[in-house]
Structure 1
Amino acid sequence: MARSINDIMNSMLSVKDSYTELSGLSGSISSIWRKILYIVASAIWILENLFDSHQQEVTGIIATMRPHSLRWYAEMARKFQYGFNLLPDSEDFDNDGKTGDEIEASKIVAYAAVDKVEGKLLVKVAKDAGDSLTPLEDVEKQAFTEYMERVQDAGDDLEIRSEPADNLRLSLDIYYNPLVLNADGQRLDGASLTPIPDAVHNYLKNLPFNGELVLAFLTDALQAVSGVVIPHIVSAEYQYGEIVWKPVGVKYKPYAGYLTVAETDLKINYIPQSEIMK
């Protein structure tokens, strides 16, 4: 950042004072040597400002030419403001005259993730509905798609996806400790009537958006429930849109970016089991 002329002048005066052989120079502000220093300081000030302008110009060119990352696309998706227009030739929204609350309320995309699939950039987004995630409505998706097409890098092919949650269907065998749980999987001390279903729902809720369902990790979550001796996933299947149920192998990345399991799709068989010494 360019210094002021006075700062440059003071810097040169400080250097001048370090030379004892120059101590005899007149201290008058109208002296010739001071005028020469001022002229040099002015020239340095002009040069530093030119350097600043050049740096800004080069930085702007680099920012314009550099291909953006997948993370950048996800950040831009979350910056979308529904019902707001972009400033001319800008990636920023025109928030003139809007309150902070109005601006925040317009940012309807709470979750976003971007994958590169077969040369395309797949942009998955969802809204926050409190205890669950929901897709954008048709008119919201149309506006969001227009926004992303305006801010995207030239040549990138985007596919916007905002869909209802993928459905998960589970069949579990839970070998339980009869001293802790009853035959319906309820805690005997009354602390919870649904500890196993709660563990499943909490695992899905805590998955990162567009994160993978890993059956081994779900097993770990079930194993951590008090009273569970052996958790066994008999089967796991997923379904979305019009496709039929398909089995989950080792892991599964949801089509919509997130998963839900209905009460009727969670089958649990409780089997009493004494604790096993390890």
Structure 2
Amino acid sequence: MARTIAEIQDEILIEKNKQSSLNGLTKSKTAIWQLWINIVATAIWVHEKIVEKNALISRPHTLNWYREQALNFHYGIPLNPDSGKAMSLIWKEGSYQFDTTGLTESEIEDSKIIKHCAVSEIDLGTVLDPKKEPEEIFSDFFHNKVGVVFIKVATVKDDKISRIDVPNELFAFKEYIAKIKDAGNQVYITSDQGDSLKLSLNVYIDPLTLFINPKDIEYYQLKSLNRLLKADEQAKLDKYEEDLLEDPLDPRNGSLILSNTVFPVLDAVKDHLKNIEFNGAFVKTYLVDSVQKAQGVKIPILSKVETLWATNPSDQPESLKDVTNIEYFIPSAGYFDMDALQVEVNYIPYTFYRDKQ
């Protein structure tokens, strides 16, 4: 921000006092040298204001700039409910700004409907085929050949990330970006329902800490086998699954023995997913690390990962895509739908210590 004339004058006087040869100058306020300080300070102030304005106008619009503008978007709240006057976007000091005159701090924050935003530069193929299979990206070089600015946005509802599902809100945001963006830039904006995610885990647990009904142990063990089952094993598993219709698995399995309302493995999975930053990568190793820290867990094994971008309710439901062989990927919507999350856990007692006795 440009200095005031008084600040510039003070700095000139400080430098003047350092020069012993100028000590003989009169202290009169009408002295000619005092007038020249004022003239020079004013000229410097005008110069700094011009430079400041030019800097605002010529500021490079980086990807981070687009993100800042998105998070600063206001969905018009009347300045005065009785007047019906909506918040307007005005050109001020070299940039577009929202006129928030008359609004309180809380009203200003409430009008910012964009709570999460991620901006990247993507290739044209991604724009034309946004629902392609999840994949690992080893280098952004191969995905940044075309200058298309890709903006993913989301809001928060009931303390959960959610898409902007009010049509006019997203339309207004797109119009706002179209108005402030650099001329000639292509901008692609999405706000989608969170991706579906299904996780399958085999977790060896401490039976002294976590509850497991003995009648369910063999079923969990058969389900956890990562190979083709033998004929007798498959027959046993089929019989178990048939019996589950009348005698389901004990709902307390996996809970703390001291508190059957606390499920450490499930809680660890949900906490980990909630803490992934918007448009951040789901990393299998990081999830396993989080589960490993849960109370009563000895060995967590993530056996299968399935995901799918969200579809409209009217669309034909699609099968989840098996992405187990991918170490990490970014959800298409930028986040996962926690309400649609499926976690299947095979709880197996950790008894390997007996081999050493």
Q: TM-score range by the shorter chain?
A: 0.7 to 0.9
Which residue of the partner structure matches residue 70 of structure 1? Answer: 63
Aligned ranges 1:214-233 → 2 under 5 Å: 214-233=283-302
Instruction: Select the residue among 145, 150, 163 that pairs with 2:192.
Output: 163
Instruction: Select the residue among 132, 156, 159 that pairs with 1:128.
Output: 156
Work out the CA distance in 1 between the residues paired with 2:162 and 2:154. 6
For structure 1, list consecutive stretches of 5 or more residues without a partner in the other structure.
Answer: none
Taking structure 1 as reference, are residues 186 and 94 closer, same or farther at Cα in structure 2, changes over 3 Å only? same
Whether 1:101 aligns to 2:126 is: no
Work out the CA distance in 1 between the residues paired with 2:23 and 2:64. 61
Whether 1:50 aligns to 2:79 is: no
Q: Secondary structure at the match of 1:259?
A: coil
The worse-fitting range, judged by mean Cα deviation, of 43-52 and 115-124 is 43-52
Work out the CA distance in 1 between the residues paired with 2:285 and 2:148. 30
Asked whether the 8 Å contact 2:16–2:22 carries over to 1, the reply is no
Which residue of the partner structure matches residue 198 of structure 1? Answer: 267
Whether 1:147 aligns to 2:150 is: no
Instruction: State the AA in 2 paired with 1:113.
Output: A
Instruction: Select the residue among 63, 71, 75 that pairs with 1:82.
Output: 75
Asked whether the 8 Å contact 2:206–2:296 carries over to 1, the reply is yes
Shift of 1:73: 1.4
The worse-fitting range, judged by mean Cα deviation, of 55-64 and 206-215 is 55-64
Shift of 1:5: 10
Which residue of the partner structure matches residue 320 of structure 2? Answer: 245
Q: Secondary structure at the match of 1:51?
A: helix
What CA deviation, in whole Å up to 9, does each residue of 1:200-248 have, x standing for no partner?
A: 1110111111111100000001101111111111110111134642233
Q: Secondary structure at the match of 1:127?
A: strand
Instruction: Select the residue among 237, 240, 254 that pairs with 1:185.
Output: 254
Asked whether the 8 Å contact 1:8–1:45 carries over to 2, the reply is no
Work out the CA distance in 2 between the residues paired with 1:155 and 1:173. 52
Taking structure 1 as reference, are residues 276 and 110 closer, same or farther at Cα in structure 2, changes over 3 Å only? farther
Instruction: State the AA in 2 paired with 1:148.
Output: I
Asked whether the 8 Å contact 1:177–1:275 carries over to 2, the reply is no
Asked whether the 8 Å contact 2:193–2:337 carries over to 1, the reply is no
Q: Secondary structure at the match of 1:175?
A: strand
Work out the CA distance in 2 between the residues paired with 1:77 and 1:158. 12
Taking structure 1 as reference, are residues 215 and 47 closer, same or farther at Cα in structure 2, changes over 3 Å only? same
Work out the CA distance in 1 between the residues paired with 2:50 and 2:271. 50
Q: Secondary structure at the match of 1:256?
A: coil
Shift of 1:65: 2.2
Asked whether the 8 Å contact 1:175–1:228 carries over to 2, the reply is yes
Asked whether the 8 Å contact 1:112–1:209 carries over to 2, the reply is yes
TM-score (norm 1): 0.84
Taking structure 1 as reference, are residues 12 and 154 closer, same or farther at Cα in structure 2, changes over 3 Å only? closer
The two structures, once aligned, show a CA RMSD in angstroms of 3.0
Taking structure 1 as reference, are residues 189 and 116 closer, same or farther at Cα in structure 2, changes over 3 Å only? same
Alignment length, in residue pairs?
Answer: 267
Instruction: Select the residue among 92, 97, 100 that pairs with 2:97.
Output: 92
Shift of 1:139: 1.0
Work out the CA distance in 2 between the residues paired with 1:138 and 1:61. 37
Work out the CA distance in 2 between the residues paired with 1:135 and 1:93. 23
What CA deviation, in whole Å up to 9, does each residue of 1:152-184 have, x standing for no partner?
A: 222322111111111111111111111111221
TM-score (norm 2): 0.67
Sequence identity percentage: 33
Asked whether the 8 Å contact 2:202–2:303 carries over to 1, the reply is yes
Work out the CA distance in 1 between the residues paired with 2:74 and 2:276. 26
